Amino acid sequence: MSTANAKIEDKFPVNSHPPLTPVEDLGQEESYFQLIRKRFFKHKLAVFGLVVFSLIVISAIFAPLLAPLSPYQINAQFAASPSAEHLLGTDQVGRDLMSRLIYASRVSLSVGIGAVAIYVVIGTVLGALAGYFGKWVDMVIMRTTDIFMSFPYLMVILVLVSIMGPSLFNIVLVIGLLGWPSIARLVRGSVLSIKEMDYVKAAVALGYSTPKIVFQHILPNCLAPILVNATFGIASAIILEASLSFLGMGVQPPTASWGNMLNEAQSLTVLSTQPWLWIPPGVMILLAVLSINFMGDGLRDAMDPKSLK
């Protein structure tokens, strides 16, 4: 018995654990996401960005509760400076700027998240098809991508919005339908390398269907670059919507938008004597874009396979 016990102790020393069972392997798989979360929260700027962005999202969701007045309510005070009654003053029509600023966050977040969701789906599917099938499928999709990327992005959006009409839905749709080429190229490159992995070849040899191989075995491993790209894409979409609204081709008044609030500050008189009309929306755009970019930087560092130790 002692010899047998010695052999067992040699194989599994005291205070050690036997090899992981399949059930425990699932726990190891979950620890990967826990490690990403820990690394993300160690990134101070990313945490700051998450806090600021969360506050913006909360203000957008609970805008009716947080806004002191209706964003469409016209008061007798026109272009009034900040006061106890109107904390950020009123615009040239007499509407409370604080209320409009809070409600405008809904527009910016709707454009950013909605447009990115559309083009991430399109770009991911096209990039996966191009990378997996290759040959003529890859050539057709990539040449189409080159054509889309060869046009001046902002000019095409301006033309399409002017034809379709400036509205929130049309802006989201146009940005979503034109923003997929960068995602498609990114996903194609990832799929080209992943499809040569042994587990993918094993899935093909076992006769798994192509959709199952692509969407269950390949694309989940492309998730990190897609998420990082989408995060930065939200910031770009918010800036683009603000630019369109500033030029008068975006969300139209009386609907509040950070961009069309800046549109009122085009004259030198407003810029010099009425800063409350343009500084608050400008600061909100700055905070929203910076917070999203900080989150993207933190997510990129946290999901970098070279730093996951």
SS3 string of 163-184? HHCCCHHHHHHHHHHHCCHHHH
d(CA 241, CA 236): 9
Amino acid at 99: S
Say which residue, 55 or 249, is predicted with more confidence.
Answer: 55
Question: Which segment of 124-128, 134-138, 205-209, 288-292 scores lowest on mean pLDDT?
Answer: 205-209
What pLDDT, on the 0 to 100 scale, is given for residue 306?
A: 62
* Residue ranges with strand state E in the chain: none
Half-sphere exposure of 5 (CA within 13 A, CB side): 3
What pLDDT, on the 0 to 100 scale, is given for residue 4?
A: 45
Q: Mind listing the pLDDT tens digit for each residue in 250-307?
A: 888 888 888 888 887 777 777 778 888 888 888 999 999 999 999 988 888 887 766 5
What pLDDT, on the 0 to 100 scale, is given for residue 26?
A: 44
- Nearest to residue 146, comparing CAs of 186, 118, 116, 181? 181
Q: Is the dihedral of CA 133, 303, 51, 284 positive or negative?
A: negative
Q: Mind listing the pLDDT tens digit for each residue in 3-53?
A: 544 444 444 444 444 444 444 444 444 566 778 888 888 888 989 999 999
d(CA 180, CA 153): 12
What pLDDT, on the 0 to 100 scale, is given for residue 143?
A: 92
Average pLDDT over residues 207-215: 82
d(CA 24, CA 130): 36
User: Hey, what domains does the chain have and what are their CATH numbers?
Assistant: 37-59+97-302 (1.10.3720.10)
- Nearest to residue 245, comparing CAs of 170, 182, 180, 152? 170
Q: Which two tokens stand for residue 37?
A: 């979360």
DSSP state of 215: I
Tell me if the bond preceding 18 is cis, omega within 30° of 0: no
Average pLDDT over residues 226-254: 87
The size of the chain, in residues, is: 309
Q: Mind listing the pLDDT tens digit for each residue in 149-205?
A: 888 888 888 888 888 888 888 899 999 999 889 899 999 988 888 888 888 888 888
Name the percent of the chain in helix, strand, coil, to the closest 5.
75, 0, 25
d(CA 241, CA 258): 9
Name, in order, each residue with C-beta under 8 angstroms of 12's C-beta and a sequence gap of 6 or more.
Answer: 18
The Cβ of residue 182 has, within 10 Å, a number of other Cβ atoms equal to 18
DSSP state of 17: -
